[in-house]
Amino acid sequence: MTIRTYLEFTPKLADRAYVDESAVVIGQVTLGVDSSVWPLTVIRGDVHSISIGDRTNIQDGSVLHVTSPHSFPPDGFPLVIGNDVTVGHKVVLHGCTIGDRVLVGMGTVIMDGAIVEPDVIIGGGSVVTPGKTLTSGGLYVGSPVKRIRDLRQEELDFLVYSAEHYGKLKDMHLSTSKTLN
């Protein structure tokens, strides 16, 4: 894994966090307990902070970045991701806030100042435009994203299952992964 200091900031990884050796984590990044970062992911906290909660998984090829406080708006936009979040393959998260128990579908883009409240599913390939708020309990799809219906109980249950599943997979990787030279 590439964990890189930028200026005076070194990423902080909590207990049992997993970062694949091909991922890159730079600067002002905090990764929570039992969270995982999968192959070819880039998490770049160079111009603002990135906070990733407990039991959250950031899947292959995702890019996470922020907006500088020295730009517009004057405070910039950090990236804040809650607990038990599943971020699918090739997702772009930029200066947004993601609540607890959210599934972000593959290939989705969530932009500056957007807020995703807890208990939300975002369908693959969706675009969440700057400043948009996705309210709790909904299924959102499209470009730009729109709420299409309330989540069913089995979908709400799946949000927790997904986080637990990736926690178990992370543990298997931690116990068995070896790099061949």
Q: What is the pLDDT of residues 24-46, one digit of tens each?
A: 999 999 999 999 999 999 999 99
| β pairing state of 92-94 and 109-110 | parallel
CATH code at 2-176:
2.160.10.10
The DSSP code for 61 is T
181, pLDDT greater than 50: no
Q: Are 18 and 32 in contact (CB under 8 A)?
A: no
Domain boundary assignment for the chain: 2-176
Q: What is the pLDDT of residue 1?
A: 59
Q: Are 148 and 140 in contact (CB under 8 A)?
A: yes
Q: What is the pTM of this model?
A: 0.95
Residue-wise pLDDT tens digits, 121-171? 999 999 999 999 999 999 999 999 999 999 999 999 999 999 999 999 999
Q: Are 54 and 83 in contact (CB under 8 A)?
A: yes
C-alpha closest to that of 77 among 47, 53, 39? 47
Residue-wise pLDDT tens digits, 105-121? 999 999 999 999 999 99
Sequence-ordered list of residues with C-beta below 8 angstroms from that of 161, at least 6 positions apart, any chain: none
Alpha helices in the chain (DSSP H): 153-176
